[in-house]
Amino acid sequence: MLKTEGLGYWYQDKDQPLFQDINLEFDIGQSYAILGHSGTGKTTFLSLIAGLDKPKEGDILLGDRSLKKIGLTNYRRKDVSIVFQAYNLFTYMSPLNNLMTAMAITGAKHAGDKVYAKQILNDFGISEELALRNVQHLSGGQQQRVAIARTMACDAQLVVADEPTGNLDEDNTRDVIAQFQKIAHEQQKCVIIVTHEPDVADQCDHQFRLENKQFTQLA
Amino acid sequence: MNFFKRAWLNVWAKKGRSILLILVSSAILMFVLAGLLIRSAAVKATNQAKEEVGATVTLSANRQAAFKKMQSSSSSSKSSRPKLTLTPVKLSDATKIAKLSNISSYNVTSSTSVNASSYDTVSTSSGMGGNSSSGGPGGGMKSSTSSGDTQIDGVTATSLTSDFSDSQSKITKGRGITTADKDTNHVVIEKELASQNDLSVGDTITVKKTTGSKSKVKLKIVGIYKASATSSSSSPMSTDTSNTMYTSYTLANTFKGNKYAGTADSVTFNVKNPAKVSSVKTAGKKLINTSKYALSTDDSSYQTVKASMDNVESFANKIVWLVAIAGTIILALIVILMIRERRFEIGVLLSLGEARWKIIAQFFTEMLMVIVIAVAIAGAGGKLVGDQLGSQLVSQSTTTTQTSTSSSTGQPGGGGQPGGSGSGMKGGNGGPGNVGQSSSATKQADADLNISVSAVDLAELGGFGLAITFLSIMIASGGILRLEPKKVLIS
C-alpha cells in the first residue's frame, strides 16, 4: 500500500543525514511499530509518511502514485489519519464535534452523520454523555480514544501514530494498542506506530528499528 | 463550509475572549461612527445653510463706469463742475433676470426722502458735527442735495428686506408692505415716530415732496414697525432711524419724479443655491447693459457657514481615518496574538488536510461575528460620543470663523447712504444688506450639529468594520500561510 523508495532526510548538512536510502513497504490490514532511541529520526520518518513534511531525497508512493503528484494537502485529507502523543483535539469542541469536524474536512462518506459518529465513539468507550462534553473535561486515556476514533471516522486507509501511549498509564496503553490492532485487522487499514516502548511494539504485527540511519526489521 | 460551524463553536466556547474582542471593537467603531456622524452632520448643515442662508445678486447702477465717465467729462470741459450721473435700474431688465433659473425671489429698492408735513420727525442728539437734527415740519437734516427729513424706503415687500428677514426690524402693529401695495399710498412707520405723534394703523399722515412741485401727499399707515438700534438705515448721513418709512417702490418713484417710473435704485435677487451665484451673475450680465449697470454678488453668509462646516467636516474625516487605521493596527495585533495562541488548532486542521484559506476564513468569520455585535453597540453609543465631539468642534470652529470674518465684513452699514431727491442710491456693495447677513451667518454657525444615527451611517460603519476586520485578518494571516504543521504538531 505505502512504499518508500530511497528515502533520505537531513536538516542542515547533507553529509549528516538522519536516515538515507530507506526502502520499506507497508501493507493494508497490518500494524507496524517503528522503534528507536530518541533523536534517531523516527518521528521525522513518521512526519514524511504522514505528509507533514517533504523528503530531501527519494520518494513515497501510495499504491503507484507519488505523494509529490497527489499533493501533501490532498494526501492528508484523503489518505492518511494521524494520532499524536498530545491528542491534538479541538479543545473548544465536544468529542462528537471533533469527529464531525474531521469527517467534514476530509469529506468522509459519513460526513454529517451524527449517529455514525456517536456509534464510533461508543465503540471506543466514549458514552453519549461524554460525547457531548467539552474534550478538556475528559481524562487523558479518553482523549486519546477520541483521537483514535477520529481516525476511524475518516475514510483514510493509512493511520500513523506518534507515541500514542506516551501520556497513558499501563491499562490505557493496553487498551489503546488493542484499538489500533482492531483498526488494522477489522477495518483493514494500515497502522504505523512510532514508539520507544518495546511492550507497545511487541503487540504490533511488524517491528522496525531505526538505528545508524537505517531501518532493520525485527523478527 | 465547515469553517462557519467551527467559527461559531469557537466564539461560543470562548465567551470571555469573545466579549473582550467585542468591547475593543465597539470602542474602535464608536469613534469611527462619531467621526462619520459629525462628517455627515456637517455636510447636512452645509446643505441646510445653502437653503437657509442663501445668497443674493444685486442689480444696480455701475458706479465705476459712471465715475470714469465723470472723470473724462471733467478733463474735457474744465469750466463746468463734474457731475456723477447714475442711471436708475430698469425694472424690465430686472424682470428678465428674475426669470433665470435659481432665482427664488427679488426685491426692488427705491429710496428717497420727503419732508414731514402733518407730523414731527424724531430728533436725535448726535447729529453730524454736533448739530442736532431739528424736529418739526421742514426740520431734520438738510443736505446740499435737498434731502428731506424723512427717509422713504420703497420696496417690493418689507419681508424681503434684510432688516425684516433677519429680525432687525419687526412689525408690531398692522402689517408690512407687500406686493399688493404696489401703486398705493400705504406706508409702514417706526414705533417711536408713531408714539411721538400719537399715530396708529389706519391714520393718515401728510408729507411734502422735495422735488418738482414740492406738493403734499397723503399717506395711509398700514403698519408700525420697531427698528433695532443697529438698523441698516442708521448711516451717519441719514436722519434718525425712527424717521424711516417703508412704502411700495412705486410710491418712492412717485416722490422722485415722473421720469423714475418703472425704475429702481437696485434690485436684489435671492439665489436658491448659493453655490450657483457665479453662474447666475454671468447669465445676468448677458441680459443687461454692463456699461450702465452692474451685478454684484453677496454670498458671504453662505461662505461663512460653509467655511465653518468645512473645518468640522475636515476634522471629522481625520478622526474617521485615524481611528480606522489605529483600529486596524490594534485589531491586527490582537488577531496576531490570538492566532499564535491557536497554532496547535491550525496544525491539527492542516494535518486533517484543511485548506489554508479556509482556516483564514474561519478566523475572519469569527471576527465578523464579533464586529456585527460591535457595530450594534457602537450604533447605540456612537451618538453620545458624536454629540459631545460635535458640540465641542462647532464651538471651536465658530470662534475661529467669527474671528476671521469680522475683519472681512467691515462696518455694518458702511458704504451706503440714502440718496437725495435725485438718483440717490441706497447703499452700494457692502451697504446696509451686509448687517443682516453677517448676523444670520453667525446664527447658522452657532447652531448645533444635528447628529443622528441613520441606516446609511450604520451601513457605512459596517463597511468600515468589515474593512478593518478584513485588513487585520489579512495582516495576521501571514503566520498561517507560513505555518508548517510538522513544527507545531511533532516538535
* pLDDT-based confidence at residue B354 (cuts at 50, 70, 90): very high
CA-CA distance, B175 to B434, in Å (whole number)?
A: 25
The answer on pLDDT for B296 being more than 80 is yes
Q: Which residue has cell 473548544?
A: A92
Pairing of strands A2-9, A80-83: unpaired
Instruction: Give exposure, B104-134, as e/b (b: 16+ Cβ within 10 Å).
Output: eebbbbbbbbbbbbbbbbbbbeebeeeeebe
A105 touches chain B (CB under 8 A): yes
Question: pLDDT digit string (tens) for B359-371?
Answer: 999 999 999 999 9
* pLDDT-based confidence at residue B399 (cuts at 50, 70, 90): low
Q: Which residue has cell 457531548?
A: A132
More confident residue, A216 or B451: A216
Q: Which residue has cell 494520532?
A: A83
SS3 A121: helix
Residues of A whose CB is below 8 A from B351: 50, 52, 76, 82, 88
The answer on pLDDT for B491 being more than 70 is no
What pLDDT is recorded for position B393? 64
* pLDDT-based confidence at residue A74 (cuts at 50, 70, 90): very high
SS3 B479: helix
Helix (H) / strand (E) containing B55 = strand B55-61
The answer on pLDDT for A192 being more than 70 is yes
Residue A153 lies in a domain: yes
Residues of A whose CB is below 8 A from B359: none
Choose the most confident range, by mean pLDDT, from A182-191, B208-217, B298-307, B441-450.
A182-191
CA-CA distance, B28 to B468, in Å (whole number)?
A: 10
What pLDDT is recorded for position B446? 45
B43 HSE (CA, 13 A, CB side): 9
CA-CA distance, B164 to B435, in Å (whole number)?
A: 12
A155 touches chain B (CB under 8 A): no
Average pLDDT over residues B419-434: 34
Burial class (CB in 10 A: 0-12, 13-18, 19+), B427: buried
A52-56, A154-158, B416-420, B477-481: the lowest-pLDDT one? B416-420
- Are the beta carbons of B353 and A50 separated by less than 8 Å? no
CA-CA distance, B309 to B320, in Å (whole number)?
A: 16
The answer on pLDDT for B144 being more than 50 is no
What pLDDT is recorded for position B202? 93
The answer on pLDDT for B324 being more than 50 is yes
- Are the beta carbons of B348 and A134 separated by less than 8 Å? no
Question: pLDDT digit string (tens) for B145-167?
Answer: 457 889 999 999 998 888 888 78
Residues composing chain A:
219
Of the candidates A50, A92, A102, the beta carbon closest to that of B9 is on: A92
CATH of residue A121's domain is: 3.40.50.300
User: In this structure, what C-alpha cell is assigned to residue A144?
Assistant: 486519546
Of the candidates B2, B9, B490, the beta carbon closest to that of A52 is on: B490
Residue A98 lies in a domain: yes
Q: Which residues lie closer than 8 Å to B263 by C-beta, 6 or more apart?
A: B88, B89, B90, B91, B110, B253
Average pLDDT over residues B369-383: 87
Of the candidates A52, A77, A90, the beta carbon closest to that of B489 is on: A52
Q: Which residue has cell 471651536?
A: B396
- Bridge partners (DSSP) of residue B245 are B152
More confident residue, A65 or B448: A65
Min distance A203 CA to chain B CA atoms (Å): 24
CA-CA distance, A102 to A94, in Å (whole number)?
A: 12
Average pLDDT over residues B136-146: 38
Helices (H) and strands (E) in chain B, counts: 15, 12
B206: left (phi over 0), alpha (psi -120 to 50) or beta: beta
B338 touches chain A (CB under 8 A): no
Helix (H) / strand (E) containing B151 = strand B150-155
ipTM value, please give it: 0.89
CA-CA distance, B123 to B125, in Å (whole number)?
A: 7
The answer on pLDDT for B435 being more than 80 is no
* pLDDT-based confidence at residue B420 (cuts at 50, 70, 90): very low
Residues of A whose CB is below 8 A from B3: none
Q: What is the DSSP code string of A70-103?
A: H-HHHHHHHTEEEE-TT----TTS-HHHHHHHHH
Q: Which residues lie closer than 8 Å to B174 by C-beta, 6 or more apart?
A: B188, B201, B221, B222, B223, B224
CA-CA distance, B163 to B146, in Å (whole number)?
A: 26
- Are the beta carbons of A92 and B355 separated by less than 8 Å? no
The answer on pLDDT for B247 being more than 90 is yes
Whether the Cβ atoms of residue A96 and residue A120 lie closer than 8 Å to each other: no
Residues composing chain B:
491
Please give the residue of chain B at the shortest CA–CA distance from A136: B13
* pLDDT-based confidence at residue B419 (cuts at 50, 70, 90): very low
What pLDDT is recorded for position B398? 57
The answer on pLDDT for B230 being more than 70 is no
Residue A174 structural domain: 28-39+77-218
Min distance A210 CA to chain B CA atoms (Å): 18
CA-CA distance, B43 to B53, in Å (whole number)?
A: 15
Average pLDDT over residues A117-142: 92
* pLDDT-based confidence at residue B421 (cuts at 50, 70, 90): very low
The answer on pLDDT for B439 being more than 90 is no
- Are the beta carbons of B490 and A76 separated by less than 8 Å? no
Residues A30, A31, A36, A41, CA torsion sign: positive
What is the distance in angstroms between the CA of the first residue and the CA of the last residue of chain B? Answer: 30
- Are the beta carbons of B6 and A90 separated by less than 8 Å? yes
- Are the beta carbons of B352 and A93 separated by less than 8 Å? no
Which amino acid is it at B163? Answer: D
More confident residue, B472 or B155: B155
Of the candidates A93, A101, A162, the beta carbon closest to that of B490 is on: A162
Residues of B whose CB is below 8 A from A75: 353
- Are the beta carbons of B352 and A77 separated by less than 8 Å? yes
A93 touches chain B (CB under 8 A): yes
Please give the residue of chain A at the shortest CA–CA distance from B355: A73
Distance from the Cα of residue A167 to its chain's centroid: 16
CA-CA distance, A73 to A70, in Å (whole number)?
A: 8
What pLDDT is recorded for position B79? 57
More confident residue, B138 or B33: B33
Count of structural domains, chain A: 1
The answer on pLDDT for B348 being more than 50 is yes
The answer on pLDDT for B415 being more than 80 is no
Burial class (CB in 10 A: 0-12, 13-18, 19+), B344: middle
The mean pLDDT value of chain A amounts to 90
- Are the beta carbons of B348 and A74 separated by less than 8 Å? no
B350 touches chain A (CB under 8 A): yes
Helices (H) and strands (E) in chain A, counts: 9, 11
Average pLDDT over residues B105-121: 91
- Bridge partners (DSSP) of residue A31 are A191
- Are the beta carbons of B352 and A105 separated by less than 8 Å? yes
User: In this structure, what C-alpha cell is assigned to residue A2?
Assistant: 505505502
Instruction: Give exposure, B171-204, as e/b (b: 16+ Cβ within 10 Å).
Output: bebbbbbbeebeeebbbbbbbbbbebbebebeee
- Are the beta carbons of B348 and A89 separated by less than 8 Å? yes
Phi and psi at residue B419, in whole multiples of 5°?
Answer: -80, 170
Please give the residue of chain B at the shortest CA–CA distance from A93: B9
The answer on pLDDT for B142 being more than 50 is no
Average pLDDT over residues A61-89: 91
User: In this structure, what C-alpha cell is assigned to residue B16?
Assistant: 470571555
Interface A-B, measured as beta-carbon pairs within 8 A, has a size of: 66
B14 touches chain A (CB under 8 A): yes
* Residue-range domain boundaries for chain B: 2-49+306-407+442-489, 55-299
What pLDDT is recorded for position B397? 57
DSSP A5: E
pTM: 0.63
Residue A7 lies in a domain: no
Q: Which residues lie closer than 8 Å to B323 by C-beta, 6 or more apart?
A: B28, B31, B32, B35
A10 touches chain B (CB under 8 A): no
A18-32, A164-178, B75-89, B477-491: the lowest-pLDDT one? B75-89
The answer on pLDDT for B387 being more than 80 is no
Q: pLDDT > 90: what percent of chain B?
A: 26
Question: pLDDT digit string (tens) for A84-107?
Answer: 888 889 999 999 999 999 999 999
More confident residue, B239 or B43: B43
CA-CA distance, A125 to B93, in Å (whole number)?
A: 102
Of the candidates A43, A91, A106, the beta carbon closest to that of B352 is on: A106
The answer on pLDDT for B75 being more than 80 is no
Average pLDDT over residues A23-42: 91
B349 touches chain A (CB under 8 A): yes
Q: What is the DSSP code string of A24-43?
A: -EE-TT-EEEEE--TTSSHH
Q: Which residue has cell 482556516?
A: B359
Residue A198 lies in a domain: yes
More confident residue, B212 or B338: B338
A136 touches chain B (CB under 8 A): no
Residues of A whose CB is below 8 A from B349: 105
Residues of A whose CB is below 8 A from B353: 73-78, 105-106
